[in-house]
Amino acid sequence: MKILIIAEHKNGVLAEATRELFGLPLGQAEIHAVVAGEGIAPLAEPLGQLGAAKVRLVDSPALAGGTGESLGQALGQVIPQLAPDVVLTAHTPQGRDLAPRLAEGLDAALATDCIQATFNDGQVTLRRPVYAGKATAEVEFTDDSLKVITIRPRTAKAPEPDTALSAEVTSVSVQLSEQKTVLKEIIAGGGERPDVTEAAIIVTGGRSLGSAENFSIIENFADTIGAAVGSSRAAVDAGYRPYRDQVGQTGKVVSPQVYIACGVSGAIQHLAGMRTSKHIVAINTDPDAPIFQLADHGIVGDLFEVVPLLAEAVKNRTGG
Ligand SMILES: Cc1cc2nc3c(=O)[nH]c(=O)nc-3n(C[C@H](O)[C@H](O)[C@H](O)COP(=O)(O)OP(=O)(O)OC[C@H]3O[C@@H](n4cnc5c(N)ncnc54)[C@H](O)[C@@H]3O)c2cc1C
Protein backbone atom coordinates (compact mmCIF):
# COMPACT_ATOMS: atom_id res chain seq x y z
CA MET A 1 0.00 0.00 0.00
CA LYS A 2 1.25 3.46 -0.87
CA ILE A 3 0.32 6.27 1.55
CA LEU A 4 0.84 9.89 0.57
CA ILE A 5 1.07 12.36 3.46
CA ILE A 6 0.25 15.98 2.66
CA ALA A 7 2.73 17.98 4.69
CA GLU A 8 1.45 21.16 6.28
CA HIS A 9 3.90 23.86 7.30
CA LYS A 10 4.10 27.38 8.68
CA ASN A 11 7.05 29.78 8.65
CA GLY A 12 9.30 27.08 7.22
CA VAL A 13 8.48 24.52 9.94
CA LEU A 14 6.51 21.29 9.56
CA ALA A 15 3.23 21.33 11.46
CA GLU A 16 3.21 19.10 14.52
CA ALA A 17 -0.07 17.60 13.27
CA THR A 18 1.78 16.47 10.12
CA ARG A 19 4.66 15.00 12.13
CA GLU A 20 2.11 13.02 14.16
CA LEU A 21 0.78 11.31 11.00
CA PHE A 22 4.08 9.42 10.80
CA GLY A 23 3.36 8.01 14.27
CA LEU A 24 0.19 6.23 13.14
CA PRO A 25 0.32 2.43 12.83
CA LEU A 26 1.07 2.57 9.11
CA GLY A 27 2.02 -1.13 8.89
CA GLN A 28 4.23 -2.05 5.96
CA ALA A 29 2.97 0.80 3.80
CA GLU A 30 5.31 2.74 1.53
CA ILE A 31 5.23 6.31 2.83
CA HIS A 32 5.51 9.26 0.48
CA ALA A 33 5.03 12.93 1.30
CA VAL A 34 4.13 15.97 -0.74
CA VAL A 35 4.82 19.58 0.27
CA ALA A 36 3.31 22.52 -1.59
CA GLY A 37 4.19 26.16 -1.08
CA GLU A 38 6.99 28.59 -1.79
CA GLY A 39 10.57 27.93 -0.69
CA ILE A 40 9.66 24.59 0.81
CA ALA A 41 12.75 22.55 -0.23
CA PRO A 42 14.24 22.51 3.33
CA LEU A 43 11.21 20.54 4.54
CA ALA A 44 12.26 17.47 2.55
CA GLU A 45 14.94 16.56 5.08
CA PRO A 46 12.72 16.43 8.20
CA LEU A 47 10.10 14.50 6.23
CA GLY A 48 12.73 11.95 5.23
CA GLN A 49 13.89 11.64 8.83
CA LEU A 50 10.32 10.97 9.94
CA GLY A 51 10.08 8.05 7.52
CA ALA A 52 8.99 9.34 4.10
CA ALA A 53 10.73 7.27 1.43
CA LYS A 54 9.95 9.82 -1.29
CA VAL A 55 9.16 13.52 -1.00
CA ARG A 56 7.59 15.54 -3.82
CA LEU A 57 8.10 19.30 -3.71
CA VAL A 58 5.57 21.55 -5.40
CA ASP A 59 7.35 24.88 -5.17
CA SER A 60 5.62 27.87 -6.69
CA PRO A 61 5.14 31.54 -5.75
CA ALA A 62 1.48 31.03 -6.66
CA LEU A 63 1.21 28.68 -3.66
CA ALA A 64 2.71 31.13 -1.17
CA GLY A 65 -0.73 32.07 0.20
CA GLY A 66 -1.70 28.42 0.50
CA THR A 67 -5.43 28.91 -0.07
CA GLY A 68 -7.56 25.78 -0.23
CA GLU A 69 -8.26 26.61 -3.86
CA SER A 70 -4.63 26.86 -4.97
CA LEU A 71 -3.45 23.89 -2.89
CA GLY A 72 -6.43 21.85 -4.06
CA GLN A 73 -5.64 22.62 -7.68
CA ALA A 74 -1.92 21.88 -7.30
CA LEU A 75 -2.35 18.65 -5.36
CA GLY A 76 -5.21 17.60 -7.62
CA GLN A 77 -2.64 17.53 -10.44
CA VAL A 78 0.18 15.89 -8.47
CA ILE A 79 -1.70 13.11 -6.69
CA PRO A 80 -2.79 11.17 -9.83
CA GLN A 81 0.85 11.14 -11.02
CA LEU A 82 1.91 9.52 -7.74
CA ALA A 83 -0.97 7.04 -7.73
CA PRO A 84 -1.21 6.49 -3.96
CA ASP A 85 -3.79 4.20 -2.37
CA VAL A 86 -4.34 6.61 0.52
CA VAL A 87 -3.90 10.36 0.94
CA LEU A 88 -3.47 11.35 4.58
CA THR A 89 -3.69 14.84 5.97
CA ALA A 90 -4.25 16.29 9.43
CA HIS A 91 -7.74 17.44 10.40
CA THR A 92 -6.56 21.04 10.76
CA PRO A 93 -8.33 24.04 9.18
CA GLN A 94 -6.15 23.44 6.10
CA GLY A 95 -6.84 19.70 6.01
CA ARG A 96 -10.57 20.23 6.48
CA ASP A 97 -10.60 22.62 3.55
CA LEU A 98 -8.40 20.51 1.32
CA ALA A 99 -9.62 16.96 1.83
CA PRO A 100 -13.17 17.35 0.44
CA ARG A 101 -11.83 19.32 -2.53
CA LEU A 102 -9.39 16.53 -3.34
CA ALA A 103 -11.90 13.74 -2.79
CA GLU A 104 -14.41 15.43 -5.05
CA GLY A 105 -11.86 16.28 -7.74
CA LEU A 106 -10.22 12.85 -7.73
CA ASP A 107 -13.43 10.85 -7.31
CA ALA A 108 -12.03 9.39 -4.10
CA ALA A 109 -13.59 8.02 -0.92
CA LEU A 110 -13.44 10.45 2.01
CA ALA A 111 -13.27 9.93 5.78
CA THR A 112 -12.65 12.96 7.98
CA ASP A 113 -11.74 13.68 11.60
CA CYS A 114 -10.58 10.13 12.31
CA ILE A 115 -9.33 9.38 15.83
CA GLN A 116 -7.99 5.90 15.09
CA ALA A 117 -6.53 4.43 11.93
CA THR A 118 -4.92 1.10 11.08
CA PHE A 119 -3.38 0.12 7.78
CA ASN A 120 -2.91 -3.63 7.45
CA ASP A 121 -2.35 -5.73 4.32
CA GLY A 122 -4.04 -3.16 2.12
CA GLN A 123 -6.99 -2.89 4.51
CA VAL A 124 -7.75 0.50 6.06
CA THR A 125 -9.87 0.67 9.22
CA LEU A 126 -10.80 3.98 10.78
CA ARG A 127 -12.76 5.26 13.74
CA ARG A 128 -14.44 8.64 13.75
CA PRO A 129 -16.74 10.31 16.27
CA VAL A 130 -20.44 10.63 15.44
CA TYR A 131 -23.38 12.23 17.26
CA ALA A 132 -21.18 14.99 18.71
CA GLY A 133 -18.78 12.39 20.08
CA LYS A 134 -21.45 10.31 21.86
CA ALA A 135 -20.42 7.31 19.76
CA THR A 136 -17.70 6.35 17.32
CA ALA A 137 -18.26 4.79 13.93
CA GLU A 138 -15.93 2.23 12.41
CA VAL A 139 -15.23 3.00 8.77
CA GLU A 140 -14.02 0.57 6.13
CA PHE A 141 -13.91 1.08 2.38
CA THR A 142 -15.79 -1.05 -0.08
CA ASP A 143 -13.41 -0.90 -3.04
CA ASP A 144 -9.85 -0.13 -4.07
CA SER A 145 -10.39 3.44 -5.17
CA LEU A 146 -8.30 6.26 -3.74
CA LYS A 147 -9.04 7.14 -0.11
CA VAL A 148 -8.63 10.64 1.32
CA ILE A 149 -8.43 10.62 5.12
CA THR A 150 -8.02 13.38 7.70
CA ILE A 151 -6.71 12.55 11.16
CA ARG A 152 -7.56 14.59 14.23
CA PRO A 153 -4.43 16.24 15.71
CA ARG A 154 -2.92 14.42 18.71
CA THR A 155 -4.32 11.06 17.62
CA ALA A 156 -0.76 9.73 17.44
CA LYS A 157 2.56 10.75 18.91
CA ALA A 158 5.09 12.08 16.40
CA PRO A 159 8.09 9.75 16.14
CA GLU A 160 11.58 11.01 16.94
CA PRO A 161 13.37 11.95 13.71
CA ASP A 162 15.96 9.39 12.62
CA THR A 163 18.90 11.33 11.19
CA ALA A 164 20.10 8.17 9.41
CA LEU A 165 17.02 8.30 7.17
CA SER A 166 16.61 10.41 4.06
CA ALA A 167 14.02 10.61 1.32
CA GLU A 168 14.36 10.59 -2.45
CA VAL A 169 13.36 14.15 -3.34
CA THR A 170 11.73 15.22 -6.61
CA SER A 171 10.38 18.57 -7.72
CA VAL A 172 7.07 18.62 -9.51
CA SER A 173 5.61 21.56 -11.40
CA VAL A 174 1.94 22.39 -11.73
CA GLN A 175 -0.15 24.71 -13.89
CA LEU A 176 -2.48 26.86 -11.82
CA SER A 177 -5.37 28.63 -13.48
CA GLU A 178 -6.59 32.03 -12.35
CA GLN A 179 -7.67 31.87 -8.71
CA LYS A 180 -11.08 32.91 -7.46
CA THR A 181 -9.74 33.46 -3.95
CA VAL A 182 -6.58 35.14 -2.77
CA LEU A 183 -5.02 35.42 0.67
CA LYS A 184 -4.65 39.12 1.43
CA GLU A 185 -3.48 39.21 5.03
CA ILE A 186 -2.99 37.00 8.05
CA ILE A 187 -3.98 38.71 11.27
CA ALA A 188 -2.24 37.00 14.16
CA GLY A 189 -4.52 35.80 16.92
CA GLY A 190 -2.34 37.56 19.44
CA GLY A 191 -0.73 36.49 22.67
CA GLU A 192 2.14 34.23 23.58
CA ARG A 193 -0.02 31.30 24.62
CA PRO A 194 -0.46 28.34 22.30
CA ASP A 195 -3.72 27.93 20.38
CA VAL A 196 -6.11 25.38 21.85
CA THR A 197 -5.77 23.15 18.78
CA GLU A 198 -1.99 22.93 19.20
CA ALA A 199 -1.57 22.78 22.97
CA ALA A 200 -0.71 19.64 24.93
CA ILE A 201 -2.53 21.07 27.96
CA ILE A 202 -5.65 23.24 27.97
CA VAL A 203 -7.18 25.04 30.93
CA THR A 204 -10.77 25.98 30.11
CA GLY A 205 -13.03 28.33 31.98
CA GLY A 206 -16.81 28.54 31.83
CA ARG A 207 -19.59 30.99 32.49
CA SER A 208 -18.92 30.64 36.22
CA LEU A 209 -15.86 32.89 35.89
CA GLY A 210 -18.34 35.75 35.86
CA SER A 211 -16.24 38.31 33.97
CA ALA A 212 -13.42 38.73 31.46
CA GLU A 213 -11.18 40.05 34.28
CA ASN A 214 -11.72 36.93 36.38
CA PHE A 215 -10.29 34.84 33.54
CA SER A 216 -6.87 36.05 34.77
CA ILE A 217 -7.12 33.16 37.28
CA ILE A 218 -7.34 30.73 34.38
CA GLU A 219 -4.61 32.56 32.43
CA ASN A 220 -2.21 32.54 35.40
CA PHE A 221 -2.67 28.84 35.93
CA ALA A 222 -2.35 28.15 32.20
CA ASP A 223 0.89 30.15 32.02
CA THR A 224 2.28 28.28 35.03
CA ILE A 225 1.90 24.94 33.25
CA GLY A 226 2.47 26.11 29.65
CA ALA A 227 -1.15 25.55 28.68
CA ALA A 228 -3.57 27.17 26.28
CA VAL A 229 -6.69 28.91 27.58
CA GLY A 230 -9.99 27.49 26.40
CA SER A 231 -13.53 28.68 26.92
CA SER A 232 -17.04 27.33 26.95
CA ARG A 233 -19.49 28.92 24.55
CA ALA A 234 -21.38 30.49 27.44
CA ALA A 235 -18.22 32.37 28.46
CA VAL A 236 -17.65 33.45 24.84
CA ASP A 237 -21.26 34.57 24.45
CA ALA A 238 -20.94 36.57 27.67
CA GLY A 239 -17.93 38.38 26.17
CA TYR A 240 -15.37 36.95 28.61
CA ARG A 241 -13.25 35.32 25.90
CA PRO A 242 -12.79 35.63 22.13
CA TYR A 243 -14.44 33.04 19.91
CA ARG A 244 -11.06 31.59 18.90
CA ASP A 245 -10.83 30.06 22.42
CA GLN A 246 -14.19 28.30 22.23
CA VAL A 247 -14.10 24.53 22.54
CA GLY A 248 -17.05 22.47 21.40
CA GLN A 249 -19.44 21.58 18.66
CA THR A 250 -19.54 25.13 17.30
CA GLY A 251 -16.01 25.95 18.43
CA LYS A 252 -12.75 24.04 18.09
CA VAL A 253 -12.27 20.32 18.48
CA VAL A 254 -9.28 19.53 20.67
CA SER A 255 -7.54 16.41 21.85
CA PRO A 256 -4.81 17.47 24.28
CA GLN A 257 -2.89 15.29 26.71
CA VAL A 258 -4.58 17.08 29.61
CA TYR A 259 -7.83 19.07 29.62
CA ILE A 260 -8.66 20.97 32.80
CA ALA A 261 -12.27 22.21 32.86
CA CYS A 262 -12.86 24.89 35.48
CA GLY A 263 -16.48 25.77 36.21
CA VAL A 264 -17.71 24.14 33.03
CA SER A 265 -20.91 22.13 33.34
CA GLY A 266 -20.12 19.62 30.59
CA ALA A 267 -23.00 20.23 28.17
CA ILE A 268 -23.03 17.76 25.28
CA GLN A 269 -22.03 20.50 22.85
CA HIS A 270 -18.94 21.26 24.94
CA LEU A 271 -18.05 17.58 25.32
CA ALA A 272 -18.21 17.22 21.52
CA GLY A 273 -15.10 19.38 21.32
CA MET A 274 -12.94 17.81 24.04
CA ARG A 275 -14.19 14.27 24.64
CA THR A 276 -11.09 12.66 23.11
CA SER A 277 -8.68 14.47 25.46
CA LYS A 278 -6.32 11.93 26.99
CA HIS A 279 -6.78 13.01 30.64
CA ILE A 280 -9.68 15.16 31.79
CA VAL A 281 -9.70 17.06 35.07
CA ALA A 282 -12.84 18.86 36.24
CA ILE A 283 -13.27 21.47 38.95
CA ASN A 284 -16.88 22.24 39.75
CA THR A 285 -18.93 23.18 42.81
CA ASP A 286 -21.75 20.85 41.73
CA PRO A 287 -20.92 17.17 42.36
CA ASP A 288 -23.64 16.23 39.87
CA ALA A 289 -22.23 18.34 37.00
CA PRO A 290 -22.17 16.16 33.84
CA ILE A 291 -18.47 16.93 33.28
CA PHE A 292 -17.64 14.62 36.20
CA GLN A 293 -19.05 11.66 34.28
CA LEU A 294 -16.28 12.08 31.71
CA ALA A 295 -13.51 13.33 33.97
CA ASP A 296 -10.61 11.10 35.02
CA HIS A 297 -10.01 13.32 38.05
CA GLY A 298 -12.57 15.58 39.69
CA ILE A 299 -12.39 18.25 42.35
CA VAL A 300 -15.69 19.33 43.87
CA GLY A 301 -14.90 22.87 44.90
CA ASP A 302 -14.92 26.56 44.12
CA LEU A 303 -12.60 27.29 41.21
CA PHE A 304 -11.73 30.67 42.72
CA GLU A 305 -10.11 28.78 45.60
CA VAL A 306 -8.93 25.62 43.86
CA VAL A 307 -7.29 27.06 40.72
CA PRO A 308 -4.94 29.51 42.53
CA LEU A 309 -3.99 26.66 44.92
CA LEU A 310 -3.14 24.41 41.97
CA ALA A 311 -1.06 27.18 40.37
CA GLU A 312 0.75 27.69 43.67
CA ALA A 313 1.38 23.96 44.08
CA VAL A 314 2.89 23.74 40.58
CA LYS A 315 5.11 26.77 41.24
CA ASN A 316 6.33 25.23 44.50
CA ARG A 317 7.10 21.95 42.83
CA THR A 318 8.88 23.48 39.84
CA GLY A 319 10.65 26.13 41.86
CA GLY A 320 8.67 29.04 40.44
C1 LIG B 1 -26.29 24.35 18.73
C2 LIG B 1 -25.48 24.57 19.97
C3 LIG B 1 -24.11 24.60 19.89
C4 LIG B 1 -23.33 24.80 21.03
N5 LIG B 1 -21.97 24.79 20.92
C6 LIG B 1 -21.23 24.90 22.03
C7 LIG B 1 -19.81 24.83 21.97
O8 LIG B 1 -19.20 24.74 20.90
N9 LIG B 1 -19.12 24.90 23.13
C10 LIG B 1 -19.73 25.04 24.35
O11 LIG B 1 -19.03 25.10 25.38
N12 LIG B 1 -21.07 25.11 24.43
C13 LIG B 1 -21.83 25.07 23.31
N14 LIG B 1 -23.17 25.19 23.40
C15 LIG B 1 -23.75 25.63 24.69
C16 LIG B 1 -23.91 24.52 25.72
O17 LIG B 1 -25.17 23.91 25.52
C18 LIG B 1 -23.86 25.09 27.14
O19 LIG B 1 -24.84 26.10 27.27
C20 LIG B 1 -22.50 25.68 27.52
O21 LIG B 1 -21.46 24.78 27.21
C22 LIG B 1 -22.50 26.00 29.00
O23 LIG B 1 -21.30 26.64 29.32
P24 LIG B 1 -20.76 26.57 30.81
O25 LIG B 1 -20.53 25.16 31.20
O26 LIG B 1 -19.63 27.53 30.90
O27 LIG B 1 -21.93 27.24 31.64
P28 LIG B 1 -23.04 26.62 32.61
O29 LIG B 1 -23.81 25.55 31.96
O30 LIG B 1 -23.75 27.77 33.19
O31 LIG B 1 -22.19 25.88 33.75
C32 LIG B 1 -21.44 26.53 34.71
C33 LIG B 1 -20.86 25.47 35.63
O34 LIG B 1 -20.00 26.07 36.55
C35 LIG B 1 -20.23 25.52 37.85
N36 LIG B 1 -19.83 26.56 38.81
C37 LIG B 1 -20.48 27.69 39.15
N38 LIG B 1 -19.73 28.43 39.99
C39 LIG B 1 -18.59 27.74 40.19
C40 LIG B 1 -17.40 27.99 40.94
N41 LIG B 1 -17.24 29.11 41.65
N42 LIG B 1 -16.42 27.06 40.91
C43 LIG B 1 -16.56 25.92 40.18
N44 LIG B 1 -17.64 25.63 39.45
C45 LIG B 1 -18.64 26.54 39.45
C46 LIG B 1 -21.70 25.17 37.89
O47 LIG B 1 -21.95 24.15 38.82
C48 LIG B 1 -21.94 24.72 36.45
O49 LIG B 1 -21.72 23.33 36.32
C50 LIG B 1 -23.97 25.01 22.28
C51 LIG B 1 -25.36 24.97 22.36
C52 LIG B 1 -26.11 24.78 21.23
C53 LIG B 1 -27.61 24.74 21.35
Q: Compute the distance from residue 249 Cα to the ligand 1 centre, in Å.
A: 12
> Which ligand 1 atom is the nearest neighbour of the CA of 266?
25
pTM, full prediction: 0.84
> Which ligand 1 atom is the nearest neighbour of the CA of 231?
11
- Give yes or no for residue 304 CB within 6 A of ligand 1: yes
Residue 307: what pLDDT? 98
Q: Which residue has the CA at smallest separation from atom 28 of ligand 1?
A: 265
- Give yes or no for residue 254 CB within 6 A of ligand 1: no
Which residue among 204, 215, 254, 270 is best mutated to probe the pocket of ligand 1, counting the most ligand atoms within 8 A of its Cβ? 270
pLDDT tens digits in sequence order for the chain, 320 residues long: 999 999 999 999 999 999 999 999 998 999 999 999 999 999 999 999 999 999 999 999 999 888 999 999 999 999 999 999 999 999 999 999 999 999 999 999 999 999 999 998 889 999 999 987 889 999 999 999 999 999 999 899 999 999 999 999 999 999 999 889 888 888 876 677 888 988 999 999 999 999 999 999 999 999 999 999 999 999 999 999 999 999 999 999 999 999 999 999 999 999 999 999 999 999 999 999 999 999 999 999 999 999 999 999 999 998 76
Residue 56: what pLDDT? 98
Q: Compute the distance from residue 207 Cα to the ligand 1 centre, in Å.
A: 6
Residue 193: what pLDDT? 87
Do 56 and 33 meet the contact criterion of CB atoms below 8 Å apart?
A: yes
Measured CA to CA, the distance from residue 124 to residue 203 in angstroms comes to 35
Per residue in 68-120, pLDDT (tens digit) is 999 999 999 999 999 999 999 999 999 999 999 999 999 999 999 999 999 98
DSSP letters spanning the chain? -EEEEEEPEETTEE-HHHHHHTTS--TTPEEEEEEEESS-GGGHHHHHHHT-SEEEEEE-GGGTT--HHHHHHHHHHHHHHH--SEEEEESSHHHHHHHHHHHHHHT-EEEEEESEEEEETTEEEEEEEEGGGTEEEEE--SSSS-EEEEE-TTSSPPPPP-TT---EEEE--------S----------SSSPPTTT-SEEEEE-GGG-STGGGHHHHHHHHHTTPEEEE-HHHHHTTSS-GGGBBSTTSB----SEEEEES----HHHHHHHTT-SEEEEEES-TT-THHHH-SEEEES-HHHHHHHHHHHHHHHHT-
Residue 184: what pLDDT? 87
- Give yes or no for residue 133 CB within 6 A of ligand 1: no
Residue 190: what pLDDT? 64
Residue 320: what pLDDT? 66
All structural domains of the chain, each given as residue ranges with its CATH number in brackets, are 2-171 (3.40.50.620), 201-318 (3.40.50.1220)
Q: Compute the distance from residue 52 Cα to the ligand 1 centre, in Å.
A: 43
Q: Compute the distance from residue 246 Cα to the ligand 1 centre, in Å.
A: 11
> Which ligand 1 atom is the nearest neighbour of the CA of 286?
47
* Nearest residue to 171 (alpha-carbon basis) of 46, 45, 41: 41
- Give yes or no for residue 299 CB within 6 A of ligand 1: no
Q: Which residue has the CA at smallest separation from atom 35 of ligand 1?
A: 263
Measured CA to CA, the distance from residue 223 to residue 308 in angstroms comes to 12
* Nearest residue to 176 (alpha-carbon basis) of 49, 28, 73, 307: 73
Residue 121: what pLDDT? 80
